[in-house]
Amino acid sequence: MPELPEVESVRRALETCILNRRIISTTVRTPKIIASKGNYRLDLPDKTDDFKKFCNQKTIQKVSRRAKNIFIELDSGYILTHFKMTGQLLFLKEKPNLTQEKHIHILWELDQGWLAYKDIRKFGYVLMIESREELESHFTNYGMEPLSPSFDFEVFREKMKKSSSTIKKIFLDQKIVVGLGNIYADEVCFMSGVRPMRKGSSLTKQELKKLYENIQIVLRRSIETGGTTKYTHTLPDGSQGRFVEQLQVYGRAGEKCFVCSTPLIKEVVAGRTTVYCKMCQK
DNA sequence: ACACACCCCTGGAAGC
DNA sequence: TGCTTCCAGGGGTGTG
């Protein structure tokens, strides 16, 4: 659920409160969160002690994002997080009561304040990354960053035209363009007037241009409001994103299209609930 | 190359 | 009221 706007909103907010803070101590309550890239296996070694050593006494130099990952640059190495469905990074002024906060899995004591990784469903993960090379190797399968100047229309068009997958699947799998998930994939398709189950190869140049532009428009608009809080997403201070008020189709199955008043259709595409307007989208 | 099923996990909503 | 089932979906893995 945290897609690019949610992750980017968190990154921006974190930058204002943890930059140049030193990590005093690290508490790991749920070792499997730092096990390995969300691929939880019982036979993986417990990295708790290594992780504490890795973090402690280092200073936070930078907070960056690639796709839906946030990575915190330290004096040496990086702490990388992926929120998956319900992960959160929270900045707390006081030490949280861990007895009450049962979903906080990792807690960093900073020289001012506390940083917590919270995750109700424990799908997400936190990794220690030693080098720039290792960091890059985590990103090798990712496509273009849609809000970067390097997001090129001709490259986008060429790759989309070559794909026999549905638009929905292409957007979800992050290989051509990153950052879209179930919410924004549907929103972008609606804004662009194309149905999510269309094949990439079937799209006209004009349709591709609309998709290309609307990806950037909807992501930027959402970031401005702190993202979409539909379930658990919050900013590091616990406040909610407000983009849910602007959603056109996601979560509105059966309700009237804001443009033509036709009831919106719900259908499973690429294994995910998908909502579209059969009148407005061709 | 694709499609699909299944898994990880919890809590809120809906159904009975 | 209380119990059961369904649903939310990012992404890794396995199978056809």
Q: pTM, whole model, 2 decimals?
A: 0.93
Q: What is the pLDDT of residue A229?
A: 72
Higher pLDDT, A145 or A1: A145
Beta-carbon neighbour count of residue A96 at 10 Å? 14
Beta-carbon neighbour count of residue A157 at 10 Å? 17
Q: What is the pLDDT of residue A41?
A: 56
Which nucleotide is closest to A185, CA to C1'?
Answer: C9
Residues of A belonging to the active site: 2-3, 68, 272
**Is the pLDDT reported for residue A42 higher than 60?**
no
Closest residue, CA to C1' of C12: A39
> Strand A114-119 relative to strand A104-110: parallel, antiparallel, unpaired?
antiparallel
At A49-106, the pLDDT tens digits run 999 999 999 999 999 999 999 999 999 999 999 999 899 999 999 999 998 899 999 9
A174-CA/C9-C1' distance, Å: 15
A121-CA/C4-C1' distance, Å: 21
Which nucleotide is closest to A184, CA to C1'?
Answer: C9
Provide the angle, in degrees to the nearest 10, between the axes of the packed helices A153-162 and A205-224.
Answer: 120
